[in-house]
Structure 1
Amino acid sequence: MASSYSELLDRSLTEVAGLVRTRQVSPVELVDASLERISAVDGQLSAYISVFEHEARQVAKASELMAMVGHDLGPLHGVPLALKDNVSVKGLRTTAGSRILGDWIPDHDATVTTRLRQAGAVFLGKLNMHEFAWGGTSQNPHYGTVRNPWNTERFPAGSSGGSGAAVASRMCFGAIGTDTGGSIRLPAAINGIAGLRPTYGRVSNHGIIPLAWSMDTAGPMARTVEDCALMFGAFAGHDPQDATTARVGTVDYMARLKEPVKGLRIGIVPGYFFHHLQPPVKHAVQAALKTLEGLGAEIVDVEIGHIHGNISAQLTVEAAEPSAYHQRWLRERPQDYGDDVRTLLEVGEMLLATHYVQAQRYRTLLRNEFMEAFRRVDAFICPTLPFTATRIGETKVVIEDGIEEDMLSAIMQYTGVPSLTGLPSLNVPCGFDDDGLPIGMQVIGKPFDEALLFQIGASYQSVTDFHRRAPAI
């Protein structure tokens, strides 16, 4: 990283937050470093749709003055973050990666935006994404194809592909993504960073353009589990403006990060979690389980009887609900959608009500099976997705036996389970394949027990270095 700021940019979000608090680094330095990095590499990655250079510098100057007089704005004081472009920022363009909202200027902040501001964050800009979050590649026909910083010929996954690429390439210290079927965890795994899908109802969706209402949630993406915990504490919790948020109290998510995993019971579903995946992924996740065993965790085999139906149910819900939201635009402005998204929305209109109802019934069944299993285990661990980053433009993937299959359904093999059940899940980097492409494992927890996921992830990262590696870009 050929920059005078390279050493600063390699520090974690938590580290730079501490440096600002002790006045060893100024918010202006952090923003200048980040903007320089964006200028240097985003031409290759297309991770940003909008960069708020003027606004970020102004806020950084104000944050610096506050720090100089000893006024602490919060845990993210002066830290440069970026937001996926379906998260509203008052007075600044929010496109959802679409042409339809290409000129939309919100008159309000999303609740997540407001709470991050209140915690002292500085927003660098809005991040590229799969159009309207409906897809897993982040090939955007309107704002450019997002590329993977580990290999720019490979995809960054999606739909929060810009968030994953920006964090991994040091263009921001943390980012907000949104996750419906895996859109935080997939790009986190593919780009080699941490990313949390919170419990459904833990985070407000107010001011966030929806994909599928019954599964959507926003969450943090950062280089370390600790960074995600610090960010998450700033915006999690009930919001009167969003009736779907739960009245369940939050906790200090940083407090348990150094607690050991000794005695924890980690569940695996052998017939599903380690079936139908590329060998490097299987080996990396199994090695991670061995590492956690070495730290004192117990690995427990668990049977989830109906887990194999999750991809069909996920695709049904994730087709029907977006088509309901987009119904008017799809009739009035069909030409303004990308071909892939328009096709998916048209397919969603063809589903029967019985399909949707049966998918919702399946969700209840699957959640009940997991809740019963949590009487025996504290968390589950599985791969985040069954393959590593494919080449840009490919719609098929080879997972085993040389057989090509549809990438959209294959990519959600593991992330669909927490999405359907509303459970929290955390991607943690756990290895690389022979081409140097990142591999992630998914830690799944009980409802509203994100703190335990952070505890497990941080414990793993305390004895591994996958999260410290950076792409060469």
Structure 2
Amino acid sequence: MSGFFTLGVVEMADAVADGSVSSEALAEEALQRLETLGPRYNAVMQIEPERAREAARAVDLARARGDKLGPLAGVPLAHKDLLYRAGRVATGGSLIRKDFVPDVTSSVLERLDAAGALDLGSLHLAEFALSPTGFNVHYGHGLSPWNTAYGAGGSSSGSGAAVAARMVPGALGSDTGGSIRHPSAMCGVTGLKPTHGLVPLYGAMPLAPSLDTIGPLTRTARDAARMMTAIAGPDPRDGATLPAPRLDFEGGLKGDLKGLTIAVPSGYYRELATPEIAALMDDSRAVLKDAGAQLIETSPPDMALVNALMQVVMLVEMSTLHRRWLTERPQDYSLQVRARMLPGLALPATRYAEALMMRASVTRDWLATTMGAADMVHMPTLPVAVPSIAETTAGPPEDIAAVVGRLAAFTRGINYLGLPSLSVPCGFTANGLPAAFQLVGRPYADPVLLKAGDAYQRRTDFHALLPPGCGALA
């Protein structure tokens, strides 16, 4: 058996469990691909080969003894460089934290360890997780495996590129305004932004804690479900997770959507989408309908209000966390990141309190109008084709801001609402870059979204396509 990089998370776990392949073999191939392809797409921050090999040997020995293996035993993974592992540098994509070594390990990495997964190292991200394109002046831009003239999406750029190029079958990212869904859409992989509070944030560098989420980027919805099984659930070290229920992420993946209703919103979510994106959305909805889903038309509320409230919360929370560094070390931020953070210092406390107090009622209104009686909402992940790096870095600042701002038009509001969202690849635009739709659900309806994503992927192969130059290594 060879060419393990073609296998997904679940396939690798199954192959280790039945003895078709050793964990050491999976680790060696993944390490080789990270070392070879990682620099090509600027996807990797740090590789820990000996740690990975030691963990792989332990899995193989456990299997040889007949021990019960975890659901991710032997699967090689790597993760965004803002998830702490005690003793390993976690830069957060920044110059300020280039030498920061945490003394704790994040809850999600502990849970993946317990499930038997291998941690091969850390992956590139935008500076302080604050860019939808993967922009980083300190460590370079994250590059798309489909075309390196384009960004990999951000801020979980390395996670998106590493999974798309099959360096690893899965990776964790974080999402505050779209930072799992942007790289998933731009790299052509599947990404889940979980319900806020479903996955613990303990041991992860925060950006805006009441908006932050951690979730998987994988090839398939089924793979994402397996990783969610490992990382979701309450953690006493993160009070936001305490009400979170235990969910069955894999049990509903049957390929049949009969009995489910999908809302298709007009207005804001249709008007901002380009014609080619709208056409791809029509095609994807036809597949979901063929799987048994019923489609209904809905109308969203005033999204200008939702986006404005989200912006207030994000600005205040991130500028509060960065206040000291913004004062004492302003030169160590890129101009773009500093310019985005500074306005939060001038917002009055009353605006922030108002945005928090309005959150529940605004969420109820969005669900009532945009979702209505449906089980989920279907909309584009990005309203436009993936822009080139030149379009997001060169030219007048106002033009760059307009291009970058459009990328988050359909994602950032979902974080304010705290709802789960699954981004699924659904084709390509005229520039040859991937496009994606997202499914948004009610709180804790993450398994229902994965069910729909899995049904779509059983009928299409966009998630299985390999970027050029990412096949078997010489």
Partner of 1:435: 431
Q: Tell me if 1:390 matches 2:410.
A: no
- Give the conservation status (yes or no) of the 8 Å contact 2:296–2:374: yes
Letter in 2 for 1:188: S
Letter in 1 for 2:389: I
- TM-score of the aligned structures, taking structure 2 as reference length: 0.94
> Once structures 1 and 2 are overlaid, which stretch shifts more, 272-281 or 350-359?
350-359
Deviations 1:7-29 (A, max 9, x none): 31011111111000001111111
Partner of 1:400: none
Partner of 1:338: 334
Measure the CA separation in 1 of the matches of 2:355 and 2:243: 27
Query: Which structure 2 residues correspond to residues 28-39 of structure 1 after superposition, within 5 A?
Result: 28-39=24-35
**Runs of 4+ that moved beyond 6 A:** none
> Aligned residue pairs: how many?
464
Q: Tell me if 1:24 matches 2:20.
A: yes
> Once structures 1 and 2 are overlaid, which stretch shifts more, 234-243 or 301-310?
301-310
> Once structures 1 and 2 are overlaid, which stretch shifts more, 207-216 or 342-351?
342-351
Measure the CA separation in 2 of the matches of 1:263 and 1:50: 46
Report how far residue 375 of structure 1 moved.
Answer: 5.2
* Alignment CA distance shift 1:106-1:241 (3 Å): same
- Give the conservation status (yes or no) of the 8 Å contact 2:236–2:242: no
Report how far residue 196 of structure 1 moved.
Answer: 0.4
Report how far residue 365 of structure 1 moved.
Answer: 3.4
Report how far residue 355 of structure 1 moved.
Answer: 3.5
Query: Which structure 2 residues correspond to residues 342-357 of structure 1 after superposition, within 5 A?
Result: 342-357=338-353
Letter in 1 for 2:385: T
Partner of 1:96: 92
Letter in 1 for 2:233: G
Measure the CA separation in 2 of the matches of 1:26 and 1:100: 40
Letter in 2 for 1:310: V
Letter in 2 for 1:444: V
Report how far residue 389 of structure 1 moved.
Answer: 1.8
Query: Which structure 2 residues correspond to residues 111-126 of structure 1 after superposition, within 5 A?
Result: 111-126=107-122
> Once structures 1 and 2 are overlaid, which stretch shifts more, 125-134 or 361-370?
361-370
Measure the CA separation in 2 of the matches of 1:45 and 1:362: 42
Partner of 1:141: 137
Measure the CA separation in 2 of the matches of 1:187 and 1:290: 25
The equivalent position to 1:13 in structure 2, one of 2, 9, 12, is 9
Letter in 2 for 1:450: D
Report how far residue 303 of structure 1 moved.
Answer: 2.3
Unaligned 5+ segments in structure 1 are: 398-402
Measure the CA separation in 2 of the matches of 1:143 and 1:428: 28
Report how far residue 92 of structure 1 moved.
Answer: 1.0
Deviations 1:107-161 (A, max 9, x none): 1110001000000010111111011111212122222211000001101110101
Q: Tell me if 1:304 matches 2:296.
A: no
The equivalent position to 1:185 in structure 2, one of 181, 184, 191, is 181
Measure the CA separation in 2 of the matches of 1:27 and 1:285: 39
Partner of 1:219: 215
Letter in 2 for 1:263: G
Query: Which structure 2 residues correspond to residues 68-217 of structure 1 after superposition, within 5 A?
Result: 68-217=64-213
Report how far residue 170 of structure 1 moved.
Answer: 0.8
Q: In structure 1, the residue corresponding to 2:148 is in which secondary structure?
A: coil
Partner of 2:374: 377
Deviations 1:425-458 (A, max 9, x none): 1001111112221111000011011110011000
Deviations 1:335-381 (A, max 9, x none): 22122112212122122334434433553333011343555111101
- TM-score of the aligned structures, taking structure 1 as reference length: 0.94
Measure the CA separation in 1 of the matches of 2:38 and 2:204: 25
Report how far residue 396 of structure 1 moved.
Answer: 8.0
Q: In structure 2, the residue corresponding to 1:274 is in which secondary structure?
A: helix
- Give the conservation status (yes or no) of the 8 Å contact 2:27–2:53: yes
- Give the conservation status (yes or no) of the 8 Å contact 2:298–2:372: no
Letter in 1 for 2:294: E
Measure the CA separation in 2 of the matches of 1:404 and 1:221: 27
How high is the sequence identity, in percent, across the aligned residues? 38
Partner of 1:61: 57
The equivalent position to 1:468 in structure 2, one of 452, 458, 464, is 464
* Alignment CA distance shift 1:321-1:408 (3 Å): farther
Q: In structure 1, the residue corresponding to 2:228 is in which secondary structure?
A: helix
Letter in 2 for 1:388: A
Measure the CA separation in 2 of the matches of 1:375 and 1:411: 26
Measure the CA separation in 2 of the matches of 1:359 and 1:92: 37
Unaligned 5+ segments in structure 2 are: 470-474
Deviations 1:377-427 (A, max 9, x none): 111010001112211143389xxxxx9871332111111232111010100
